[in-house]
Structure formats: structure tokens, C-alpha cells
Homo-oligomer: A and B are copies of this chain.
């Protein structure tokens, strides 16, 4: 199996714990839970082997769980920031799609989506990791749903649309990566915008 070794380790100017988490987040996002080994995480984090179980006594699964939590926090922070700036749901969707598309391309199609990558292969076999993934999806959906309710959709409609948006976005990211065509993400987002243009 070719390794596509990441030459550039994460920047060392942070705590060991944080470097491990950042390296893990990137690698899990790129290749999923099982395709990434702890040795690779530690190498990328420039962290010695033994200090991993100091910071993460429950091992690889705990690292994945905390990496997901970190991802969730960053995602929500981004959404809140856009909300504070007054972006509508459609504008938010368009902007995020554009960002994700360009980031996907820039990474040379190495990057994936954290939740999907970790969910495949670990759900439902690793219950604690499963729970963390579910919690992230849930909070994401709730936030998008709230946005839609603010724009006049009923709670039921908003939730369903939020679900669809998230599902389609994640799916689009997967396919864009497979096709190595970032425009897919943007086109899917356009179709989704049509779905939420006006409350019916």
C-alpha cells in the first residue's frame, strides 16, 4: 500500500497533546479510522510513542473522539460566526461549499470529511466513538435547523431540510474527492439552495 507520507509535520509550537490531536484530526479526516495508525499520528505530531498514553489513556479511540470533538467545536464556531455576521442560510451554504471545494482541491484531494471518514468502519463497532460522531452530526443539524426556522420554516420542515443539506454536502464531498472535481460540491450546494429558497 502506498503511503503518501506527509512530509510536513504539524507545527511544533504547541503542546504535545495538542499536536497529537491536530495530527490525528488531519489523518483521520484524510483516510478514516482504521487506515491510520498511531505510529503515523505520532510521527506527524513529532511526539514520542509513550507520551500518547499519558495524554490519551484510552488509546486510539480516545484520540479519535477528542479529534471529533475538536472538529465539532470548530465547525460550530464557524457557523456562529457566520450567523453573527448576518448570513442567511442560503448564503452560509454557498460560502461553506465554496470554502470546502477550494480546500479539497488545494489538499490535492487528500482531505475528506471528518465525520464521514471516522464513521465508516467504526460505526457501530466502537460505541464511544459512534456516540461522539452522532453528537457532532446532531449539533450540526440543530444549528442548520435553527437557521432555517429563523427564516420561516416550520420546525419539522427545517429539521428535514437540515438533514438533507448535511447529507448532500457530505455526499458531495465524497464524490468530489473521488472524481477530483471540486465543482461538484458547489453544484450540489446550488441545488440545495433551490430547496430552501422560500418557505412554502
Question: Is A84's beta carbon under 8 Å from chain B?
Answer: no
Q: State how many angstroms separate the Cβ of A185 from the closest Cβ of chain B.
A: 9
Number of residues on chain A facing chain B (CB within 8 A): 53
Query: Smallest CB–CB gap between A56 and chain B, Å?
Result: 16
The chain B residue sitting closest to A127, CB to CB, is: B2
Chain B, residue nearest A157 (CB): B191
A161 part of interface (Cβ distance < 8 Å): yes
Q: How many copies does the complex hold?
A: 4
A188 touches B (CB below 8 Å): yes
Q: Does A125 contact B (CB under 8 A)?
A: yes
Among the stretches A11-19, A75-83, A86-94, A164-172, the one at the interface with B is A164-172
- A interface residue numbers (CB < 8 A to B): 1-4, 31-35, 109-110, 112, 115-117, 119-126, 130, 133-134, 137-138, 160-161, 163-164, 166-172, 174-175, 177-180, 184, 187-188, 190-192, 194-195
Known contacts A2-B125, A33-B35, A120-B121, A163 near B178 by CB under 8 Å: no
